[in-house]
Amino acid sequence: MAPHTKSRTAAAGKTDSSPKAGNDGKAMSKNSEQQSGTQHMGTELEKFFLEALKDIYWAEKHLTKALPKMAKAATTEELQEAFEGHLMQTEEHVNRLEQVFQVLGHKAQAKKCDAMEGLLKEADSMIDETEDGTITRDVALIMAAQKVEHYEIATYGGLVTLAGTYNLSEAADLLQQTLDEEKETDENLTYIAENHVNHDAGKEGEDDEA
């Protein structure tokens, strides 16, 4: 009777070496559940999953406030439109997360995401450190935005994998839709940088010198 003494190594997947063959067999049930397709998260893992959802929920909500600022700060129309378009998607990301909470039978709740807070602070200082109306401003904004997208891609990628592993197919589908949009946004930002921004930024300042 020691339900909470499960070792870290056992939690990391080394269930073969676990001596816990007796009891109710819960710790050892992973393989058989996998075979029958009724695998479910243990309490600890479910808690972790929920905390991760709260974290990205906070992040998405804050992005709905940051993206209009970034759109306003952008110099080129292409980048402004990209931020405005992604704002609409981000509002949908918030909705989808609320659906995921609902599917899991939990109330949607946000918990401060330190990483996103830092990334958005960085975006703010990028705006402060570059001049209004310059292409260099857009280079900086694209870099800041892509760091945000990469953080989201990493987060949703992990959540999709976890939900998929435990047959939470409805949650996995919702999270996958958002993951796809984050990836598209990242690619679109690369396209804008390559085709509209980086080259022109290189010419910036040349007029001053002349």
Point out which span in 5-13, 107-115, 175-183, 192-200 binds Fe ion (CB under 5 A). 175-183
Which 35-74 positions form the footprint of Fe ion (CB under 5 A)? none
What CA–CA distance (Å, rounded) separates 53 from 96? 11
Choice between 90 and 136, CB closer to Fe ion? 90
Residue 166, classed as helix, strand or coil, is coil
What's at 201, amino acid-wise?
A
Single out the residue of 108, 119, 92 nearest to residue 174, CA to CA: 92
For 21, the token pair is 């063959």
Which 104-163 positions form the footprint of Fe ion (CB under 5 A)? 152
At its nearest, how many Å lie between Fe ion and the CB of residue 54? 15
Choice between 27 and 97, CB closer to Fe ion? 97
Helix (H) or strand (E) segment spanning residue 66: helix 43-73
Choice between 62 and 93, CB closer to Fe ion? 93
What CA–CA distance (Å, rounded) separates 194 from 210? 26
Binding mask of the shown chain, residues 179 to 208, with x at each position contacting Fe ion by CB under 5 A? ---x--------------------------
Choice between 94 and 201, CB closer to Fe ion? 94
Residue 185, classed as helix, strand or coil, is helix
Half-sphere exposure of 19 (CA within 13 A, CB side): 4
Q: Which of 54, 61, 62, 93 binds Fe ion (CB under 5 A)?
A: 93
Point out which span in 93-101, 126-134, 157-165, 168-176 binds Fe ion (CB under 5 A). 93-101
At its nearest, how many Å lie between Fe ion and the CB of residue 35? 35
At its nearest, how many Å lie between Fe ion and the CB of residue 51? 18
Choice between 41 and 70, CB closer to Fe ion? 70
Q: Residue 11 to residues 1, 27, 88, 119, 190: CA-CA distances in angstroms? A: 18, 9, 39, 31, 39
Contact 27, 18 (CB under 8 A): yes
Judged by the rule CB under 5 A, the positions of this chain that interact with Fe ion are: 90, 93, 152, 182
